Each structure stands twice: as C-alpha cells, then as structure tokens.
Structure 1
C-alpha cells in the first residue's frame, strides 16, 4: 500500500530539532527509534512551552499508549528537521497527535505517524479528564 506524504499544511505547530552524529546507524541514516523520540519531543515541547504541563508537578500526566511511524525518505546527520504536530482526535482523557518529520525545509514529510497519550492522575495512574487549560490549548492545533 502506497502512503502519500503529508505536507507542512497538515500540521499546526512545528519544533526544530538538530540531528546528532549518534542518531545515524550503521547504514548511514537516522535509526528508526530516534523518530519516536522526536515525536515525544514535539508533543511535550508544545505542552511545556505553553504552560499546561509541568513534568515534575502536574497532577495529570500523559502516558503514551500507542505510536506508529511510516518512513518515506532518508534523514541523516547533519540534517536539521522540523517536527510538525496536530491533534486529530481529542477525547475525554486521551488525545491522538499526528506528527510529521520534515528535513532541511522540505514541504513533504520524510516520516509521519501518530502518537496517543492517555491522561492519568499522577498518583493513582487512573485515566482522568484532560484539564481544561490543556484541552483549550490542544483545540488550537486540531486538524
């Protein structure tokens, strides 16, 4: 099944990330596990810089329950990438983020996928409603 690359217009927030020498694997391109760290980075960077997540003190935290990635073009050090993120589904206690990885200013994604958080109470780890301020912020990047 052929996958069509998403473009920058499919995403609402972007975060620039510099690749590192250690990101490359023996085949000379960024290893697949690094893409998942980029997904995690763009989502949490968005929440933290907008003041709705304090990783040490927030009473509600997001746990990753699902990730998926399609690799469409090679990325390698010293490429600079931009990770784009949008929300495709906003539930009561969960959110599905769509993520695109764009290299060196290109318009088509080199990789794309999704990332799902379920929000839980920090103490008892039981699902809880997404806090109002966070929900309002997430609505600003809904696709």
Structure 2
C-alpha cells in the first residue's frame, strides 16, 4: 500500500541540500536515482556532523544494504531541498532511517523513503555492534 506523504513535523533532524543541473533528466525533473544520492548525503552528512562517523579511520563503517522510495511530486534543479531524517528501527548493528525530501519550504514530502545501514568492521566487512556513543547519537533520531 502506498503511504501518504509525510510532513516536516514527523522528522527529528534536517539537512539542506542543493540540486545540480546534471540532476535533471530529459523530462525536466530530477532523475529518480538522484533521490537515493540525496538520502545517502543527508544521512552520512548528519552522522559526520554529530561525530558518529569516521569514514577515513574508524574501526567500523556503515554499509547500505537496502533503500526504497515513494515519489509524490517532482523535484528539479534549481530546487533547494530539505531532507528530514528519523529512525524507524535501531538494532544492534543495523539502523533503518526514514528520509523525507521537501522542496523549498513545502510541508509535505515530495519523496520519502528508507535507508538501511549495517555497522561493519572496516577490515572484515562483518557486522559488529555499534558503540554506546554511536547508539546515543542515533537514539536522538527515534
């Protein structure tokens, strides 16, 4: 069943993202694959801002294992997009984010989806439990 668009009030953290000329496709709107890039940028940008991610030297890193998206209205360059982020589920080594993409000051999401990260050992790429500090940062998004 297709969900209804979410609203800004349903999210815990926000990131402002810019669109680029190259994001538009031949139909004059943002290509669907770009939505996933914005999800990735918003989530990882938030983790970096909060000190939860050291992608250059941390013992653990996050790998994306699943994404999905519902589209409600078009986004296009030169739109300014606000990504709302919240958690659907926080496990021992995985986290499911919900991300809403809002055009400008719109209150209803133009697109919304989910993004699943698994926390893995940098070397072995095997899942490992998140640290208490990392969990504390992520719990703020619940």
For 2:125, the equivalent position in structure 1 comes to 125
Residues 91-100 or 46-55, more deviating: 46-55
Give the drift of 1:10: 1.1
Q: TM-score, normalised by structure 1?
A: 0.97
Matches within 5 A, 1:77-92: 77-92=77-92
How many Å separate the matches in 1 of 2:129 and 2:67? 21
Is 1:6–2:6 an aligned residue pair?
yes
- Deviation by residue 1:50-89 (Cα, 9 ceiling, x = unmatched): 1111110111111100000001000111110001100110
Q: TM-score, normalised by structure 2?
A: 0.98
4+ long deviations beyond 4 Å? none
How many Å separate the matches in 2 of 1:115 and 1:132? 21
Is 1:106–2:116 an aligned residue pair?
no
**RMSD value over aligned CA atoms?**
0.8
For 1:73, the equivalent position in structure 2 comes to 73
Name the count of aligned residue pairs.
Answer: 142
How many Å separate the matches in 2 of 1:79 and 1:46? 21
Give the drift of 1:133: 1.0
